[in-house]
């Protein structure tokens, strides 16, 4: 947690020395205001439940040829091997590895080939260019081969991705009744059926974590000295503030499906940070937004107008420890996500908001417009591992140029399920923040920011549906104005419950 109004200039000009205290001038230390009331908008580092479903497959006894990099002549000389490999690729839905095998198979004599495999390959390839036509072709195939569980499963998954949930539900229920399905296959079907049942329901989630922050104000160490161009110095004499407490959050959302992949949504959240030994830094944030979107198997786009309000006790410069109205924001966010391949997802977003402070004097300094854009890539390497990266740009234009800035950031992230039930998530981000006008008319502030985050949990360790996560976070800021440089690390346990 940070301090919104912390460093004062009690400018004591004596020869070459200036000492500042932290009680009266929010202009000198506005770092808490910038970082906390204007959170950096980024995209999630965790694949959604729908993203994870894309990698699900059902079991098959069909095996590919031991050697698959044959030449065209070799394939045509081995029609049995060609058919075996083509059938394996179709049954396991590996559209990107079909290459020219369906065309080579079609050159075999009519009495030695099964033309339904060519039709299947055609339907599968259409998933990349024309989803509706692909579904139509799959339905024709299923009419010819109603006992082919692979075709039925692929059709059901396509119907789900195309937001045709009722039709998909019917197909998954029929798959569950098939005597050839294994227990593992049943688990795959149940994941889809559960997701379908939950699509248009209210969703709630609760989360809490213990907090122990040794640098709530995010200030440099006491005694840090800054030398000015004229030889004078600033000395940071305000001690850091610490706090122990908890963070508690609640989220809710509802989605109403419309025709042709369209939907509208409603989301709300509340988040409380409470420090039982330093009430001045308690805060409460509320959010509500409504969205309109469209989704099919490869693309999802959404626009969300929203309102956000923050209550804050005031930080270290405030004698009161009661929450009071602090800021409110009106904004709109838009996002577009597209699957470039079955395992590679590209996402972009844009966000605009106007932030207003309850205090008129604060609003003149810090109130204004915040704009941000970003892009990210997510790669799913099977169902137990994913990687990703993102780039983000944020611009804050407020009442005073010394508090306005641009921020450029990049991030990489990785998720992994390990043997014996362990799982981890990790991310690393780097950013640079450049201010528009010189600090106190002396030097233009420029900050470099680092952040690392690692979470560890065990899927078998849970209590009443809650799996605890151990999380370590390290953050560092290095500024050309030394009094804004700091680093800190926090280790805490997260508890989350969704229903």
DSSP 186-215: HHHHHHHHHHHHHTTS-EEEEEEEEEEES-
How confident is the model at residue 177, as a pLDDT?
Answer: 80
How confident is the model at residue 5, as a pLDDT?
Answer: 30
pLDDT tens track for 406-426: 999 999 999 998 888 889 999
Confidence of residue 32 (pLDDT cuts 50, 70, 90): very low
Domain 206-220+246-498 annotated CATH 3.40.50.720: no
* Intervals of CATH 1.25.40.10 along the chain: 72-198
Confidence of residue 393 (pLDDT cuts 50, 70, 90): very high
Taking 80 as the threshold, does the pLDDT of residue 268 lie above it?
yes
Q: What is the average pLDDT value for the chain, to the nearest integer?
A: 81
- Using CA of residue 20, residue 22, residue 23, residue 27, what is the dihedral sign? positive
Four-CA torsion 43, 44, 49, 52, nearest 10 degrees: 90
- pTM exceeds 0.75, yes or no: no
378 vs 29, more confident: 378
Per CATH, which fold does 72-198 belong to?
Answer: 1.25.40
How confident is the model at residue 289, as a pLDDT?
Answer: 95
Ordered alpha helix ranges (H), 241-330: none
- Using CA of residue 93, residue 95, residue 97, residue 102, what is the dihedral sign? positive
* Intervals of CATH 2.40.160.40 along the chain: 206-220+246-498
How confident is the model at residue 30, as a pLDDT?
Answer: 39
How confident is the model at residue 304, as a pLDDT?
Answer: 96
Q: What percent of the chain has pLDDT over 70?
A: 84
Confidence of residue 61 (pLDDT cuts 50, 70, 90): low
How confident is the model at residue 68, as a pLDDT?
Answer: 63
Give, as one character, the DSSP assignment of residue 188. H
- Of 6-10, 68-72, 415-419, 466-470, the range with the lowest mean pLDDT is 6-10
The CA distance from 356 to 409, in Å, is: 25
Those residues with Cβ within 8 angstroms of residue 210's Cβ, 6 or more apart along the chain or in another chain: 245, 246, 492, 493
pLDDT tens track for 167-191: 888 888 888 888 888 888 888 888 8
What is residue 384's three-state secondary structure? coil
Taking 60 as the threshold, does the pLDDT of residue 282 lie above it?
yes
């Amino acid at each position: 947690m940070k301090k919104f109004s912390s460093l004062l200039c009690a400018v004591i000009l004596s020869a070459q020395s200036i000492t500042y205290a932290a009680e009266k001038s929010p202009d000198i230390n506005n770092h808490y205001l910038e970082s906390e009331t204007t959170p950096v908008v980024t995209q999630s580092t965790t694949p959604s439940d729908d993203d994870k479903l894309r990698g699900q497959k059902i079991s098959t006894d069909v095996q590919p040829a031991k050697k698959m990099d044959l030449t065209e002549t070799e394939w045509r000389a081995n029609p049995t091997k060609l058919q075996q490999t083509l059938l394996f690729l179709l049954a396991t839905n590996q559209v990107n590895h079909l290459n020219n095998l369906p065309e080579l198979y079609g050159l075999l004599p009519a009495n030695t080939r099964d033309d339904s495999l060519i039709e299947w390959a055609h339907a599968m390839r259409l998933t990349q260019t024309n989803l509706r036509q692909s579904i139509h072709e799959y339905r024709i195939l299923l009419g010819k081969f109603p006992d082919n569980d692979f075709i039925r499963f692929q059709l059901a998954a396509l119907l789900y991705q195309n937001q045709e949930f009722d039709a998909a539900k019917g197909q998954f229920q029929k798959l569950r009744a098939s005597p050839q399905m294994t227990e593992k296959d049943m688990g795959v079907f149940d994941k889809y059926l559960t997701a379908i049942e939950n699509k248009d329901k209210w969703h709630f989630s609760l989360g809490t974590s213990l907090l122990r922050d040794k640098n709530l104000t995010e200030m440099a160490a006491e005694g840090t000295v800054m030398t000015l161009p004229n030889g004078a110095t600033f000395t940071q004499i305000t001690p850091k503030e610490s706090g122990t407490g908890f963070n508690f959050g609640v989220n809710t959302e509802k989605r109403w499906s419309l025709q042709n992949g369209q939907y509208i949504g409603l989301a709300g959240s509340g988040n409380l940070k409470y420090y039982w030994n330093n009430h001045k830094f308690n805060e409460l944030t509320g959010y509500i937004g409504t969205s309109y979107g469209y989704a099919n198997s490869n693309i999802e786009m959404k626009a969300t107008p929203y309102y956000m309000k923050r209550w804050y006790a005031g930080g270290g410069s405030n004698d009161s420890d009661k929450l009071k109205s602090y800021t409110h924001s009106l904004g709109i966010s838009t996002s577009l996500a597209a699957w470039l391949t079955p395992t590679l997802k590209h996402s972009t977003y844009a966000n605009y908001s106007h932030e207003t402070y309850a205090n008129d004097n604060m609003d003149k300094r810090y109130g204004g417009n915040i704009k941000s854009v970003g892009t990210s890539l997510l790669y799913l390497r099977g169902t137990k591992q994913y990687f990703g990266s993102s780039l983000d740009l944020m611009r804050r234009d407020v009442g005073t140029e010394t508090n306005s800035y641009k921020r450029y950031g990049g991030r990489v992230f990785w998720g992994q399920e390990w043997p014996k039930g362990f799982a981890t998530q990790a991310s690393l981000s780097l950013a640079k923040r450049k201010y528009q006008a010189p600090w106190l008319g002396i030097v233009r502030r420029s900050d470099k920011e680092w952040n690392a985050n690692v979470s560890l949990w065990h899927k078998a360790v849970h209590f009443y549906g809650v799996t605890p996560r151990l999380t370590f976070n390290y953050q560092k800021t290095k500024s050309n104005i030394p009094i804004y440089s700091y680093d800190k690390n926090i280790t805490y346990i997260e508890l989350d419950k969704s229903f």
